[in-house]
Amino acid sequence: MDLLKRIRQKIDEFCFNHMRMDGAQHLIAGILIYDVLKYLIPVWSAILITLIILVAKEVVLDKWIRKGVADWHDIIWGVIGLLLGVL
């Protein structure tokens, strides 16, 4: 349990020191999507579907449809949010 707490503290420290506003939005989205899905479907399915949603948003909306700017950092921040949600 102490290991998880140390990991969480390191992630929090990294996020606060290296995040811009767009990253914060993706971080929150990763947490919220997972938190909603985990009550509706099994945990591993919620994790997988959250990953699919995070990647699909960047690839489909931002890259193909050009509704935004595709950036792999956004996926990373979303995955960090997912990890924080799982912890």
Biggest CA pair distance of the chain? 44
In contact, 10 and 65? CB cutoff 8 Å? no
Q: How far is CA 66 from CA 51, 60, 63, 70, in A?
A: 20, 8, 5, 8
DSSP secondary-structure letter at 68? S
pTM exceeds 0.75 = no
pLDDT at 15: 66
The pLDDT tens digits for 5-63 are 888 888 777 767 666 777 778 888 888 999 899 999 998 999 999 999 988 888 887 77
Q: How many CA atoms lie within 13 A of 74 on its CB side?
A: 19
CA distance 26 to 49: 15
Query: Domain spans of the chain?
Result: 19-84
